[in-house]
Amino acid sequence: MFTGIISDIGTIDAVEPRGDLRARIATSFDTATVDLGASIACSGVCLTVVDKGPGWFAVDISGETQARTAQGAWQAGLKLNLERALRLGDELGGHMVTGHVDGVGEVIDLRPDGDSQRITIAAPAALSPYLAGKGSVTLDGISLTVNEVSDQPGGGVHFAINIIPHTAQMTTFADLAVGRAVNIEIDVLARYLGRMEQLRHVR
């Protein structure tokens, strides 16, 4: 489990196609304290550390993960939002995040809003029931609050968030641009409530 509070910005140093895709990620984490087999959220995707050295760790990215996450995100030179797994006793500063991507959205608008930036995301219609104003959402691993939601004619949903300067500075959202794809994870409570509602109607 994670909180959606980013603790490092990593950079993909190299990728190597194997049966899966292996990525070597440069980090400021003290990798001496990172165990092999540990989970690290990489731009919202929970991945397992399979190798490491001073200032870097490696993960294997399956074909399934590549297909379900933002296209082009696993390339050498790209930056990733990193968060180590939550430990008992850690402060829960964001919300409960699993590191399982529910869909991929696209930034369709970005404009100043006071000192912040207001960002509008287009998301798949399947996620519409799980997005609500003042609810939580995770974008590229970042815990954020939904400001407003607008269901679109013909399917799809748009929702808006605000990025304060501190969040931009501490994450990859400092260079966010219209057209960028983002990994979306809905709130875990919304996911379970949605499943319960489905079963209630079936019965």
**Residue 152 DSSP code:** P
CA–CA gap between residue 147 and residue 157 (Å, rounded): 13
HEC per residue, 71-118: CCCCCCCCEEEEEECCCCCCCCCCCCECCCCCEEEEEEEEEEECCEEE
| Matching fold, domains 8-84 and 103-202 | yes
Q: What is the pLDDT, as a whole number, of residue 91?
A: 67
Mean pLDDT over the full length of the chain: 92
Confidence of residue 195 (pLDDT cuts 50, 70, 90): low
**Which of 53-57, 85-89, 188-192 ranks highest by mean pLDDT?**
53-57
The pLDDT of 107-111, averaged and rounded, is: 97
For domain 103-202, give its CATH number from 3.40.50.1950, 1.10.3720.10, 2.40.30.20, 3.40.50.10470: 2.40.30.20
pLDDT over threshold 80, residue 87: no
Domain ranges of the chain: 8-84, 103-202
The pLDDT of 126-149, averaged and rounded, is: 94
* Cα-to-chain-centroid distance, residue 106: 13
CB 140 within 8 A of CB 182: yes
CB 26 within 8 A of CB 55: yes
Q: What is the pLDDT, as a whole number, of residue 105?
A: 97
- Mind listing the pLDDT tens digit for each residue in 23-43? 999 999 999 999 999 999 999
CA–CA gap between residue 109 and residue 122 (Å, rounded): 9
Instruction: Give CA torsion, residues 63, 69, 70, 73, to 10 deg.
Output: -60
Higher model confidence: residue 35 or residue 86? 35
Confidence of residue 190 (pLDDT cuts 50, 70, 90): confident
CA–CA gap between residue 12 and residue 10 (Å, rounded): 7
> Residues 6 or more apart from 122 whose CB is under 8 A from it?
105, 106, 108, 152, 156, 157, 158
pLDDT over threshold 70, residue 104: yes
Q: What is the pLDDT, as a whole number, of residue 44?
A: 97
Say if domain 8-84 classifies as CATH 2.40.30.20: yes
Confidence of residue 170 (pLDDT cuts 50, 70, 90): very high
The structure's pTM equals 0.92
- Give the residue carrying structure tokens 């994670």: 2
Amino acid present at 63? G
Q: What is the pLDDT, as a whole number, of residue 200?
A: 72
Q: What is the pLDDT, as a whole number, of residue 40?
A: 98
